[in-house]
Amino acid sequence: MMNERELLEWYLTAGVEFFCGDVPGCLKSVAPAAETPSAGEAAKQPRPAMTDLAQMSMRACKNARDISASAATLSELRQAVESFEGCALKMTAGKTVFGGGNPNAKIVIVGEAPGADEDRIGEPFVGRSGHLLDKMLAAVGLNRDKVYITNVLPWRPPGNRTPTDAEVAVCLPFLRRQIELIEPRIILILGGSAANSLLDNEESISRLRGKWLEYKFADDKKADALASFHPAYLLRNPAQKGKAWADFLRLAKKLQNN
């Protein structure tokens, strides 16, 4: 069974841009005017497949894809994201948090979404999770000048709730385009939500972490992707830090060979 994000993506890939009732791509303006059905007839009619909200999400996804594809540089993409109005999270967020760090880095680090500190300051991973991430990077000889850090979502979900499939679907083109423009060799994904969004699967982070996977960002370009625990999770569950440390050692080893 497809989730909402997969359904939206599937329709977009198939070239569908709007819905009329349950018929993808049927123009409302050319559809014959329907007579008001009787209660019995109405019960037999198929339920509309998509709500108005889903249609809006789909238009927003297409818009996000189009403006991402036409951004030729990270700074053009940043401007496009900052002026994008297709994600309701922007209304409750304080600042747009685009990626930061070295745009020529071999490593891109991907988190889930800005938290309260990031939302206030406008930079990714600057709160408690960010401080732990900095320490873990330093332990393997890395720092923010050597990596590019970003998130699946550029806006903070209210109360740090997990983003919905529709929010992820709308914002994913921005992340994908950042990766295309940077062309990293390695992608480190922090946390299950970010890993599921970017790798398009539903595996738990416990099963995903620690394994080298492939992330393809163009027909002939791919990066090695490694998922690990989110620093916020490690702050709540310090006993898991050993596993995260093993992941960072894997990362350092891969970097040496790249």
Nearest CB to ligand URA, comparing residues 58 and 182: 182
Nearest CB to ligand URA, comparing residues 54 and 121: 121
Q: Are 80 and 71 in contact (CB under 8 A)?
A: yes
Q: Residue 154, interface with ligand URA (CB under 6 A)?
A: no
Closest approach, Cβ 174 to ligand URA, in A, equals 14
Closest approach, Cβ 157 to ligand URA, in A, equals 10
| Structure tokens, 136 | 């873990």
As a whole number of angstroms, the distance between CA 26 and CA 31 comes to: 7
**Residues of this chain, 181-240, that bind ligand URA according to CB under 6 A:** 232
Q: Are 12 and 65 in contact (CB under 8 A)?
A: yes
Nearest CB to ligand URA, comparing residues 127 and 184: 127
As a whole number of angstroms, the distance between CA 222 and CA 218 comes to: 7
Nearest CB to ligand URA, comparing residues 7 and 191: 191
User: How many residues of this chain interact with ligand URA, rule: CB under 6 A?
Assistant: 12
Closest approach, Cβ 89 to ligand URA, in A, equals 14
Nearest CB to ligand URA, comparing residues 77 and 152: 152
3-state secondary structure of 106: coil
CA neighbor of 133 nearest in space, from 184, 171, 189:
189
Nearest CB to ligand URA, comparing residues 129 and 196: 129
Closest approach, Cβ 2 to ligand URA, in A, equals 26
As a whole number of angstroms, the distance between CA 50 and CA 64 comes to: 20
As a whole number of angstroms, the distance between CA 33 and CA 46 comes to: 17
User: What DSSP character marks residue 181?
Assistant: H
**Residues of this chain, 112-141, that bind ligand URA according to CB under 6 A:** 112-115, 118, 124-125, 127, 129
CB count within 10 Å of CB 185 equals 15
Please, which residues have CB within 8 angstroms of residue 158's CB and are 6 or more apart in sequence? 89, 92
Closest approach, Cβ 19 to ligand URA, in A, equals 33
- Name the residues that contact ligand URA, by CB under 6 A: 111-115, 118, 124-125, 127, 129, 151, 232
